[in-house]
């Protein structure tokens, strides 16, 4: 299990992530292969919530401000599948990014919590923790087996390189 960086209390007040400008946003989480089946088997989750490229299909925001994750309860800002949320959601505001042929750990510069703590000891300690976690043999295999979660995000800061074997790029 990934230790969270952003406290849940902060997230519930923020109303920033889980919201998207476009319906086909790169920011919409991709699912690991094993997550897809877990969500499809979960009662109340329509299969149309997941696209053919393993991405969560966003829906129109009831407030009319773009799109939201179909698992987000817009009224209280809580995730309906929090106990089973995807790897990318657990990792956020950190992201797995592909840049110039390298697989990098990056952090979203649109997250207010990150901006407040970008150069703090707390951030440096978490980056060391999450880098170590992602560079473990189990997680490197997970990334190699699920290349769909390695995306090309903008407005991020590179914080570490992941040691994926060259044949996964």
Predicted model pTM:
0.88
Residue 168 pLDDT: 41
Residue 88 pLDDT: 94
Residue 59 lies in a domain: yes
In sign, the C-alpha dihedral spanning 115, 119, 121, 124 is positive
Residues 68 and 110 in one domain: no
Domain C-terminal end among 57, 89, 121 = 89
Residue 64 pLDDT: 79
- pLDDT tops 80 at residue 8: yes
- pLDDT tops 50 at residue 169: no
The DSSP symbol for 123 reads H
Answer yes or no: are the C-beta atoms of 35 and 56 closer than 8 Å.
Answer: no
Closest CA to 61 of 93, 15, 95, 30: 15
Strands 67-68 and 59-60: antiparallel
Give the side-chain half-sphere CA count within 13 A for 122: 10
Confidence category of residue 165, pLDDT binned at 50, 70, 90: low
Residue 13 pLDDT: 87
Residue 69 pLDDT: 92
Residue 80 pLDDT: 87
User: Which neighbouring-strand residues pair with 96?
Assistant: 105
Residue 144 lies in a domain: yes
Residue 12: which domain range? 8-89
User: Encoding tokens for residue 79?
Assistant: 């995730």
Residues 41-96: tens digit of each pLDDT: 777 776 667 888 888 989 998 887 899 999 998 888 899 888 888 999 999 999 99
Q: How many domains does the chain have?
A: 2
Domain C-terminal end among 89, 120, 154 = 89
Residues 117-143: tens digit of each pLDDT: 999 999 999 999 999 999 999 999 999
Distance CA 40, CA 54 (A): 12
Residues 81 and 100 in one domain: no
Q: CA end-to-end span of the chain, whole Å?
A: 25
Give the side-chain half-sphere CA count within 13 A for 153: 27
């Amino acid at each position: 299990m990934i230790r969270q960086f952003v406290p849940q209390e902060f997230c519930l007040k923020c109303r920033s992530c889980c919201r998207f400008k476009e319906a086909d946003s790169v920011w919409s989480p991709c699912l690991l292969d094993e997550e897809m089946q877990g969500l499809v088997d979960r009662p109340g989750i329509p299969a149309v919530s997941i696209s053919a490229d393993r991405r969560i299909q966003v829906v129109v925001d009831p407030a009319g401000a773009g799109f939201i994750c179909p698992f987000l309860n817009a009224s209280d800002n809580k995730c309906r599948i929090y106990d089973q949320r995807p790897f990318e959601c657990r990792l956020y505001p950190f992201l797995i990014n592909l840049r110039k042929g390298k697989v990098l750990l990056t952090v979203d510069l649109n997250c207010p919590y990150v901006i407040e703590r970008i150069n703090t000891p707390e951030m440096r300690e978490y980056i060391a923790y999450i880098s170590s976690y992602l560079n473990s043999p189990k997680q490197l295999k997970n990334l190699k087996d699920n290349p769909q979660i390695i995306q090309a995000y903008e407005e991020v800061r590179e914080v570490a390189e992941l040691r994926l074997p060259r044949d996964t790029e």
